[in-house]
Amino acid sequence: MDINTDSYKVAPINDYERAIEIIKQAEASIAELTGNPVTLIAYEKTEE
């Protein structure tokens, strides 16, 4: 997989508790399905 980091930056979601909860729930669901721990990272597309 190729990730072009010039096109994305880490999304500033620290002040959005609901967004963090949703990501944590998704991590738990994916981990349950795959049997492996996962970490999801929120990125936002940068202006081109």
Question: pLDDT tens across 4-37, in order?
Answer: 678 888 999 999 999 999 999 999 999 999 999 9
Two tokens, residue 47? 């202006």
Closest CA to 22 of 6, 40, 45: 40
If you compute the radius of gyration of the chain from its CA atoms, what whole number of angstroms results?
13
The pLDDT of residue 48: 66
Confidence label for 1 from pLDDT (cuts 50, 70 and 90): low
Instruction: Answer whether residue 47 shows pLDDT above 90.
Output: no
Q: What is the 3-state secondary structure (H, E, C) of 1-48?
A: CCCCCCCEEECCCCCCHHHHHHHHHHHHHHHHHHCCCCCCCCEEECCC
Amino acid (one-letter) located at 26 = A
